[in-house]
Amino acid sequence: MKAISILAWFKQTLLSRSDGFAYQYMALGLSPNLKLDELPSSFSATGNEFDQNHIHRIKAFWSLFLIERTSTPGLGLPKAIPWDYNHAPLSACLSLSLDDCPSLYFKHHCQLLQLRHLFIETCYMPGFGSLEVEDQKAQLRRASEALIAFRQPTNECTHVNTSTRCSTLRTVLWISYHAAIIDLYRPFLDRSWASQVDSMMTPLEALTTASDSIAGLLGRLGTGTEVQNMPPFVIYHILRAALVQCLNMTVVDESMKRTARERFQVCLAALTRMKENWKVPGEACINFLIYVGQSWKITPW
C-alpha cells in the first residue's frame, strides 16, 4: 500500500491526475488490511515497543493520509512528504537515463522534499530561536549551501532557459525550489545578523528574488490550462510569493511598490486560474491575501 501511495504521488507530480487518483483509490481500497485497530501480536524485548510489522503498518497509513491531504482538492496541505525523509524512493545517487525526464523530475522533487525536512524545517522548530546565534548562522549556512547544490546537477530536462517558455513540469519543479528559499529565509527577516551569513544579499533580498522568480515562471507559463492544471501544493507556493510582494508594497519607494504590485497580480491571476480546479485551497489563499492587504493598508489590486 505504501508503494502504491508513492506511485500516486509520482503521477500527481507529473500532472497525470487521473492515474494519480487511480493509484490513490487502489491504496484506499487496501487500507482496511492494515488493521490498525488490532493490537500488535508481539512486542520487542523491552516490552514497551511495537513490533516492526506494526510500525510498518502505521507508516503506510501516514503515507496514504499525506497523499490524501496533498492530492484531494477539498483538503489540501501546504507541504507533505509521503515517506521516511531519510529514505526517499529514489536516492540522490541513483543513476537515471538523461532521457527519462519524468523519473528525473520525480527524483528532483524527492530530493527537494528531503532537503526541506533535513535543513529548512529545523528553522521552524520551537527551540530554534533560543539557540546561540552562531548555531543559527550555521544552520542557515548549511541550508543555503544545500539549496545551491540542488541546482548544480540539473540537465536539459530540468534546466530553465530564460529565453524560452517552460513546460508545466519544469515550472512546478522550480516554483517548488524558489518556495523553499522563501521558507528558509522567512524566519530570519528580523535577525540583524542574517545578512552576515550570505554577503551577497539580505534575507529580504533573498525572499524578493525568489518571489520574483516564481512570478516570472508563472508569467512565462501563461494563464491557460497549464496554470490551471498544476498540482494543488503549488497554490501554497504561490501564496508565499504573493505575500513577499505584499511586504514589498509597504515600502516608501514608489518604483519598488509598482514592481511588487505587478508581480503580485501575476501570482493572483495564477491563483484565480488554479481555483477552477482546486476551489477550497484557492479561495482560502485569495481571501487571506485580501485580508493581508486590508491589514497592511496596501492596495495590491
Cα(211)–Cα(192) distance, rounded to whole angstroms?
21
Neighbours of 144 (CB within 10 A): 17
DSSP one-letter code for 94 = -
Q: What is the pLDDT of residue 270?
A: 94
**Contact between 1 and 60 (Cβ < 8 Å):** yes
Grid coordinates belonging to 13: 507530480
- Listed in sequence order, the residues at least 6 apart from 244 whose beta carbon sits closer than 8 Å to its beta carbon are 182, 207, 208, 210, 211
Task: Average the pLDDT over each of 33-47, 154-168, 191-205, 213-227 and give the range with the smallest value.
Answer: 33-47
Name the CA dihedral angle for 179, 148, 143, 227, rounded to a multiple of 10 degrees: 10
pTM strictly above 0.85: no
What is the phi-psi region of residue 42: left when phi exceeds 0, alpha when psi lies from -120 to 50, beta otherwise? beta
Q: What digits encode the pLDDT tens for the residues 210-264?
A: 999 999 999 988 766 788 888 888 898 999 999 999 999 998 889 999 999 999 9
E strand intervals along the chain: none
Q: What is the pLDDT of residue 77?
A: 42
Angle at 138 between CA 136 and CA 140, to 5 degrees: 70
Give the pLDDT band of residue 73 (cuts 50, 70, 90): very low
Cα(112)–Cα(88) distance, rounded to whole angstroms?
10
Is the pLDDT reported for residue 265 higher than 60?
Answer: yes
Q: What is the pLDDT of residue 268?
A: 95
Q: What is the pLDDT of residue 259?
A: 95
Cα(167)–Cα(160) distance, rounded to whole angstroms?
9
Q: What is the pLDDT of residue 45?
A: 45
Cα(263)–Cα(208) distance, rounded to whole angstroms?
10
Residue type, 43: F
Q: Collapse the DSSP code of 189 into the 3-class scheme (helix H, G, I; strand E, B; otherwise coil) and give the result.
A: coil
Q: What digits encode the pLDDT tens for the residues 5-46?
A: 777 767 766 666 667 767 776 777 766 666 666 655 444 444
**Contact between 105 and 171 (Cβ < 8 Å):** no
Instruction: Tell me what the pLDDT averaged over the chain comes to.
Output: 76
Q: What is the pLDDT of residue 240?
A: 93
Please state the domain extents for the chain: 2-38+51-71, 110-153+163-295
Cα(158)–Cα(274) distance, rounded to whole angstroms?
23
Q: What is the pLDDT of residue 44?
A: 45
Q: What is the pLDDT of residue 43?
A: 43
Q: What digits encode the pLDDT tens for the residues 84-137?
A: 545 555 444 445 555 567 677 777 877 887 788 788 888 888 788 888 888 888
